[in-house]
Structure 1
Amino acid sequence: MSLFKERLLNQLDKIDMSQKELAEKTDITPATISRYTTGNRNPSAENARRIASVLGVSVDWLIGVSDSQNFNSSQLSKKEKADIAKDLDEIKRQLLDSDELMFDGMPMDEESITKILSALEVGMEMVRKKNKEKYTPKKYKR
């Protein structure tokens, strides 16, 4: 069983929420939620954020990157989030300026670029959080 599927099902059970209620609260179709709970599909970064928010857990914990459910565990500061946003804006500008950019044999459109940027954002946040955990002295950790 995938860690995401296991944690999703356990958290739904823990807070006594149905898949249908989760679908309504996250604006994700019930069929998609069902695919997540059967392990047939993994969520996009945006859907993982929506689900984690409704379930009251961190995205990192839900997708299996962290063992801490807390939002405060290695949270990024506003400056760190702004730095990531600035980097992503620059990457987006470069991608949009490129006329010959292809993905899977097809020219890249703005929707594809947005999906790539969303995945990059999650990756950049994960790396910063892991580095923060790794390099913060114990006496400064919460």
Structure 2
Amino acid sequence: MESVKNVIKNRRCELGLTMKELAIRVGVSEGTISRWESGEISNMRRSAIVKLAEALNLSPSKIMGWTENNPADTLPPLTQKDNKNIEKIVASMRERLVNEEGLMFDGKPASPEAIQSILDAMTVGMGIAKQRNKAKYTPKKYRDKNKE
């Protein structure tokens, strides 16, 4: 199993990205990218994992190093259209969660951080579900074309 720091650095180099370019895409500092790649930061926020996975065109599980016997690595990649559809659904859900007065955790109103965590988990889950559906329902004769 490849370590998290090696996954990030190797994929960034494969794509020809500098640390600064990747930092801009993910919305973090160049120093944060450096610390991820050196292993200095091992606990990444879910939202950062999602953005990093999108920027490197990898699954979040690959970013986290969860690659052993992981069927997500064999799933077809998401297209820009897929990602936009997921973004629309998450934006709609964000609006509903923010305006919902009855959303509670441990008897207290949901914090913005809790709502963001819900949305991050939904984003990852919808991406994996969409990939699984593509793998299951795309006719075999079209599968190789989708890998391009």
User: Per the shorter chain, which TM-score range?
Assistant: 0.5 to 0.7
Q: Which amino acid aligns with 2:105?
A: M
Structure 1, gaps ≥5 residues long: none
Shift of 1:101: 0.6
Q: 2:42 aligns with which of 40, 43, 60?
A: 40
Kindly indicate whether the alpha-carbon contact (under 8 Å) linking 2:19 and 2:30 is maintained by their aligned counterparts in 1.
yes
Percent identity between the two aligned chains: 25
Matches within 5 A, 1:62-141: 62-63=62-63, 65-67=72-74, 73-75=76-78, 78=81, 81-82=84-85, 85-86=88-89, 89-90=92-93, 92-94=95-97, 96-99=99-102, 101-102=104-105, 107-141=109-143
- What root-mean-square deviation, in Å, do the aligned CA atoms of Structure 1 and Structure 2 show? 3.9
Shift of 1:19: 3.9
Structure 2, gaps ≥5 residues long: none
**Count of aligned residue pairs for this structure pair:** 134
1:132/1:32 Cα in 2 relative to 1: closer, same or farther (>3 Å)?
Answer: same
Tell me, in whole angstroms, the C-alpha distance in 1 between the residues paired with 2:24 and 2:82: 33
Question: With structure 2 as the length reference, what TM-score do the two structures score?
Answer: 0.60
Question: With structure 1 as the length reference, what TM-score do the two structures score?
Answer: 0.61
1:96-136 deviation per Cα after TM superposition (whole angstroms, max 9, x unaligned)? 42435116x75312343133212211211111111211232
Tell me, in whole angstroms, the C-alpha distance in 1 between the residues paired with 2:13 and 2:77: 26
